[in-house]
Amino acid sequence: MKVMCAMSGGVDSSVAALLLKEAGHEVVGVTMKLWGGSSDTGCCSVSDVDDARRVAQQLDIDHLVFNFGDDFDTHVVDPYVDAHANGVTPNPCIECNREVKFARLAERAELLGFDAVATGHHASIGSLPDGTLTLERGHDTKKDQSYVVHMLDQAQLSRTMFPVGGMDKSEVRARAAEIDLRTADKPDSQDVCFITKSDGRESFLGDRIPFRSADVVDMDGQRVGAVESVEMVTIGQRKGLGLPGGGPKKYVVDVDVKAQVVTIGDDADLLRPTLSVTKMSWVNGEIDGRVRVQASAHGATKFAEISPSVDGGIDVTWEAPQRRIAPGQSVVFYDATDRRVLGGGICR
């Protein structure tokens, strides 16, 4: 099989390419040039491209670099900025997977005659007796990334491979060390690639949108503080709210960007019995009923009943009230075993 392996310059994608070659596939490594600005985190720095190229040389496979910068700006960076300007908390890494890695890259692979695209994600693809493909958690539950690839449907799964999905992270690093891959001890990337550690999110957004101050009010509407940038505030936030020290913990329970008001309350004030999800994608057709729901990359799942809403989204009713999820965050549904991804969408 001819496989295009996305190589980010990290150890997971490096070992993915190794495993594919060992399995006898014709492998070509590809690194995507996505962000044109400065980067000292994530998978977009010059050193990451160099690491991927050097690993490809060690494995004796061809290595290509594709420039998808325009797509990245259009589908990831611009929506990220717009979301913050409107008081929404986006997940840019999921949108990058949706719009670039499993869309543009897969499209390029098909045009070039590849049979599949492989990545270093810790997720697994299985099948049911009738041949239906399943998207499942990676073997290493601490590194599982099924949440961030939940948007894959049957057609995409049929042309996708996750070679390290059945391995523990320690096994991945051990395999890389066996042949002295330069990425064997490289730390995992955990940050948004276009937000630098040196400047941070506030600097990045401040260069692109005007920040506005906002009053901080309690649950009775009484002013108790102020923030300089309402666009930087998100649901559940505790710090940076201009509140005096001491007293019980307070959390952001609502952000109204237009009115320039941030409402804070106790932990109990964050609890909600329901949740609304839009922009749905399904692994194998729409479902309803009792499911497990995950609302952060490594968060625990909670049981809920889901049903179609009148506007085409999904209504989620928690078995027990849960903390409010920030609009813009991804919400992913799993089956009762907490292993198989059913689908997911965006909280609104």
Give catalytic residues, as residue numbers. 96, 193
Q: Which has the closest alpha carbon to 230: 242, 247, 248?
A: 242
Residue 15, CB-side half-sphere exposure with 13 Å CA sphere? 28
Neighbour-count burial for 276-293, b at 16+ CB within 10 Å, e otherwise: bbeebebbbeebeeebbb
Residue 65, CB-side half-sphere exposure with 13 Å CA sphere? 16
Give the residue carrying structure tokens 């689908």: 343
Give the residue carrying structure tokens 């049911």: 128
Rounded Cα distance, 39 and 32, in Å: 14
Give the residue carrying structure tokens 């670039």: 100
Q: Taking the CA atoms of the chain, what radius of gyration do you get in angstroms? A: 21
* Contact of 160 with 101, CB cutoff 8 Å: no
Give the residue carrying structure tokens 């958690």: 137
Kindly state the helix (H) or strand (E) to which residue 84 belongs, with its residue range: helix 78-85
CA distances from 270 to 67, 227, 245, 325 (A): 43, 20, 21, 9
Tokens standing for residue 26: 């014709």
